[in-house]
Amino acid sequence: MANLTSLSEILLSRRQKLAELIDFPVVLWSGSTTSRNFPANLFPFRANSHFLYFAGIPQENAVIRLEGSNLQLFMDDPHPSSTLWHGETPSREEIAAKIGADDARPMSELKDFLADAATIAVQDAPTWTQQSQLLDRWILPRQLPQGIDLDLAKAIVSLRIIHDESALMELRKSSAVSIEAHKAGMSATKKAAVEAEIRAAMEAVIMGHNMTTAYASIVTIHGEILHNIHYHHSLQPGDLLLADVGAETESGWAADITRTWPVSGTFSSTQRDIYDIVLAAHDTCIENIAPGMEYRDIHLIAAMVIAEGLVDLGILRGKPEDLVKMDLHALFFPHGIGHLLGLDVHDMEDLGDLAGYEEGRTRSDRFGLGSLRLNRSLQPGMLVTIEPGFYQVPTILNNPKTRNQYQYLVNWERLEQFADVRGIRIEDDVLVTEEGCEVLTATLPTQAEEIESLVS
Amino acid sequence: MANLTSLSEILLSRRQKLAELIDFPVVLWSGSTTSRNFPANLFPFRANSHFLYFAGIPQENAVIRLEGSNLQLFMDDPHPSSTLWHGETPSREEIAAKIGADDARPMSELKDFLADAATIAVQDAPTWTQQSQLLDRWILPRQLPQGIDLDLAKAIVSLRIIHDESALMELRKSSAVSIEAHKAGMSATKKAAVEAEIRAAMEAVIMGHNMTTAYASIVTIHGEILHNIHYHHSLQPGDLLLADVGAETESGWAADITRTWPVSGTFSSTQRDIYDIVLAAHDTCIENIAPGMEYRDIHLIAAMVIAEGLVDLGILRGKPEDLVKMDLHALFFPHGIGHLLGLDVHDMEDLGDLAGYEEGRTRSDRFGLGSLRLNRSLQPGMLVTIEPGFYQVPTILNNPKTRNQYQYLVNWERLEQFADVRGIRIEDDVLVTEEGCEVLTATLPTQAEEIESLVS
């Protein structure tokens, strides 16, 4: 994060922008590690994203306090005996120097600097318990912030939603590695017998770059199970493999890419027909991304292109615009067109819809819109995913009520001819620019022929 | 786990053995997932090991109640809307049938079945909070159990410490995959530029078998940092790479293997000298493992072989037996010779030293013995690691007090000639048998020449 500008300068600039929005001190905790099956066996540490934004480094059990442009660091130096097990680790003073802290103190002094301070809950229980105790109010990760904490959350959203140059440098790194991972997955397909082997080839690229996955990878021949994180299915030549895999840099910046490819290396004609509809939706959405555009309208563009395509294929009957109004597209595309991307793969989703939904807007109760995670007017510097899909979800399509309600609008017999298309998704990471947009993940092909040529 | 005998028969047999030891009901929670950076972004679920031992499957948010040979399952069926995101998951009744439960009920009924029941704390805070609330006493993961919970813990230790045939089947699977991972790491070394690439090659094998790592992998040229879980160092031809990597099967059974190999493919003569001492310690320990043998004595055998070797090399001066009594070996081998292995890589370490230390025994305050995790008389069915090592830990060896105290017993000038040996460890998983022992990980070579031939 510190190539063009030093880390301390980047962080100072972020603090100064925050200080223009609020007039109270801010205290952010990094969080602590979580035990897996016994206390010493830990899940990998992930620092809280708001802490990372203002501290830049994933330091465990640390707290920063921001007031105006002033930065204080609170952390304890490691116990001398820990050097036997963990080696020499940077001291508080060294970390303070690295991040440009004006002051550095042991954790025991934090309690003296909390008056009138706002904070945001971290995810791990020991830390949010500590937050609650020290601030003498409930700071809970699954409850929306209130009072000055809400004011702080809104201010941070307005900063983090527009990526600065140093954030973009990191985001480009995670994109590049994720692209390489997807290519490795395609290359590993013909030799692989089970999904797990393709997942391994993809995650090995990420791990080899000393990055981690930004979320639980989806690598499956059952793409119709939207959050399928099992990898045990064996691969058959007629299957499509859906891989939704993204890397995260050491300082926490995420990528999020999905590609769908044929296990045999060649799409069947039915798979190709549907693939091209999803790709058309993907391309049309991206063509329309520009400052001032409503993201909800981008979603509806995808819905329209999918409806048109399915009408052309004889799967849906009627006028596409009418079908979209009736949410017929959502039978096959039941999720939103995408979400914000940044330090979190669903950026700032720890704050509920505070980042995703413009003030005054709330989730729709329409089946075709309720899952939309982002409903804002797009602005330069926003990074969003564009991820249309087509899925044959049994619980949706085999529901007798659905079958009855849409007996005429869906040509169910025609649909049966597309039984080898269980799930297709194509997802890229798109930066809104002054001119329109830039696809950060554009060097990973999306065209069917190019995808086929990469499967080996 | 269910090849020779069905899962339900295995579990019944374990319940029956437990029922011979205690006369109160037992309630075990599996635990819940933990959020990473926002609520929906989760660390991989790991079920509590005691639950796994008696339930056999890693079911989230489930509870089992054991009373005599009776098994009850408490869990909620997934909400119907979850099938869109997660697909069809087995129902409570299906899981009950699979594990041989006599009765299956929703979680809301658990509170009616808790009278006089003992339990063991899980690691995740929401679940141990629930345990504490429902049982109306503190059930804390970092506090030793008390009362009937302690009686239960002791009974479970006596069962889990002696592995049954179905446990061994799983342990052999994780061993086999871990062996393959180490070979892949050796094969990937010459092409690799940084530690992370070797780690990736190793973990990809584990992931490709749809297993997970049993603990945070150590893959480093700085083996002298005992718990070094960073992977960013670049590899130089003169470096030794220490890899401590083990797989865990889907039902939770762990392996734990360490090998140390030269990045160039050839040990230097100084590296080879020390390697052969560590290997001699390893081999001598394993030769001595047999029922009735004290594990502490196995540790002291390693200490003696290392001391003898270092005297032969001119690094230590004196009689080996005297040097061991003075803990001189521990300057270079500061940890214990190993630990129990099973569902946890340090098996049952969630219970502190209850499993590792025979009743009435406690940790030594001797520098050379205090880190010993296991102090029991060995019995057939126990699985232990044997992992001698040699490390030049700067905080130990550069300590002026140490230098002064041992100015005559250590030939510090001679030691300087071994500067290219920062850390060596050789670790195998050894099952105590009636006849002596069986090395589960024996097909992975330990001899220096064989190791060299695998590095490519």
pLDDT tens-digit map of A367-423: 889 999 999 999 999 999 999 999 999 999 999 999 999 999 999 999 999 999 999
- Please give the residue of chain A at the shortest CA–CA distance from B50: A37
Is the same domain home to A375 and A433? Answer: yes
Find the mean pLDDT for residues B67-94: 90
Q: Does A400 touch chain B (CB under 8 A)?
A: no
- Report the number of secondary-structure helices (H) and strands (E) in chain B: 15, 16
Chain A residues whose beta carbon lies within 8 Å of the beta carbon of residue B396: 84
Is the same domain home to B118 and B204? Answer: no
CB spacing of B141 vs A35 below 8 angstroms: yes
| Within a domain: B2 | no
pLDDT tens-digit map of B244-268: 999 999 999 999 999 999 999 999 9
How does strand A383-386 pair with strand B247-248? unpaired
Is the same domain home to B175 and B279? Answer: yes
Output the domain CATH number for residue B144. 3.40.350.10
Output the domain CATH number for residue A222. 3.90.230.10
Q: Does B260 touch chain A (CB under 8 A)?
A: no
Q: Does B35 touch chain A (CB under 8 A)?
A: yes
Is the same domain home to B174 and B214? Answer: yes
Chain B residues whose beta carbon lies within 8 Å of the beta carbon of residue A44: 216
Is the same domain home to B156 and B170? Answer: no
**pLDDT class for B4, splitting at 50, 70, 90?**
low
Q: Does A215 touch chain B (CB under 8 A)?
A: yes
Chain B residues whose beta carbon lies within 8 Å of the beta carbon of residue A220: none
Q: Does A115 touch chain B (CB under 8 A)?
A: no
Is the same domain home to B201 and B151? Answer: no
- For A9, the 3-state DSSP assignment is helix
pLDDT tens-digit map of A133-181: 999 999 999 999 999 999 999 999 999 999 999 999 999 999 999 999 9
Chain A residues whose beta carbon lies within 8 Å of the beta carbon of residue B394: 83, 88
Is the same domain home to B201 and B260? Answer: yes
Q: Does B49 touch chain A (CB under 8 A)?
A: yes
Domain termination site, one of B138, B160, B182: B160
CB spacing of B227 vs A43 below 8 angstroms: no
pLDDT in tens, chain A (456 residues): 445 579 999 999 999 999 999 999 999 999 999 999 999 999 999 999 999 999 999 999 999 999 999 999 999 998 877 887 888 889 999 999 999 999 999 999 999 999 999 999 999 999 999 999 999 999 999 999 999 999 999 999 999 999 999 999 999 999 999 999 999 999 999 999 999 999 999 999 999 999 999 999 999 999 999 988 999 999 999 999 999 999 999 999 999 999 999 999 999 999 999 999 999 999 999 999 999 999 999 999 999 999 999 999 999 999 999 999 999 999 999 999 999 999 999 999 999 999 999 999 999 999 889 999 999 999 999 999 999 999 999 999 999 999 999 999 999 999 999 999 999 999 999 999 999 999 999 999 999 999 999 999
- For A286, the 3-state DSSP assignment is helix
Using CB atoms, which residue from B39, B44, B349 is nearest to A350?
A: B39
Q: Does A244 touch chain B (CB under 8 A)?
A: no
| Within a domain: B354 | yes
Is the same domain home to B155 and B198? Answer: no
Domain termination site, one of B136, B160, B184: B160
Is the same domain home to A139 and A202? Answer: no
What is the distance between the alpha carbons of residues A429 and A431, in angstroms, rounded to a whole number?
7
Is the same domain home to B175 and B63? Answer: no
Dihedral Cα B197, B199, B203, B208, nearest 10 deg: 20
Total tally of structural domains belonging to chain A: 2
Question: Which segments of A20-124 does DSSP mark as H helices, in order?
Answer: 49-55, 82-86, 92-99
CB spacing of A204 vs B200 below 8 angstroms: yes
Q: Does A204 touch chain B (CB under 8 A)?
A: yes
Chain A residues whose beta carbon lies within 8 Å of the beta carbon of residue B399: none
> Considering chain B, what percentage of its residues have pLDDT values greater than 90?
95
Please give the pLDDT value at position A2.
43
Find the mean pLDDT for residues B36-49: 97
Using CB atoms, which residue from A39, A43, A228 is nearest to B34?
A: A43
Find the mean pLDDT for residues B280-293: 98
| Within a domain: B1 | no
| Of A63, A60, A65, A55, residue with least CA distance to A8 | A55
Please give the pLDDT value at position B1.
43
Contact at 8 Å (CB) between A444 and A456? no
CB spacing of A84 vs B393 below 8 angstroms: yes
pTM: 0.97
Q: Does B360 touch chain A (CB under 8 A)?
A: no
| Within a domain: B194 | yes
Using only the alpha carbons of chain B, give its radius of gyration: 24
Using CB atoms, which residue from B46, B85, B222 is nearest to A36?
A: B46
Domain termination site, one of A135, A160, A185: A160
What is the distance between the alpha carbons of residues B158 and B155, in angstroms, rounded to a whole number?
5
- Please give the residue of chain A at the shortest CA–CA distance from B232: A210
| Within a domain: A93 | yes
| Within a domain: A1 | no
pLDDT tens-digit map of A147-159: 999 999 999 999 9
pLDDT tens-digit map of B288-333: 999 999 999 999 999 999 999 999 999 999 999 999 999 999 999 9
What DSSP assignment string belongs to B58-117? --TT-EEEEETTEEEEE-PPPPTTHHHHH-----HHHHHHHHT-SEEE-GGGGGGG-TT-
pLDDT greater than 90 at residue B81: no
CB spacing of A210 vs B216 below 8 angstroms: no
Is the same domain home to B67 and B153? Answer: yes
Q: b/e string for B368-378 if b means 16 or more Cβ within 10 A?
A: bbebbbbbbeb
Please give the pLDDT value at position A367.
86
CB spacing of A36 vs B48 below 8 angstroms: no
Question: What is the sign of the dihedral through the CA atoms of B278, B280, B282 and B285?
Answer: negative
Range of the structural domain that residue A147 is part of: 7-160
Please give the pLDDT value at position A1.
43
pLDDT tens-digit map of A251-276: 999 999 999 999 999 999 999 999 99
CB contacts < 8 A, A to B, total 168
Q: Does A193 touch chain B (CB under 8 A)?
A: no
| Within a domain: B386 | yes
Is the same domain home to B120 and B253? Answer: no
Task: Please provide the average confidence, as pLDDT, over all residues in chain B.
Answer: 96
Q: Does B86 touch chain A (CB under 8 A)?
A: yes
What DSSP assignment string belongs to B110-157? GGGG-TT-B----SSHHHHHHHHHHHTS---TTS---HHHHHHHHHHH
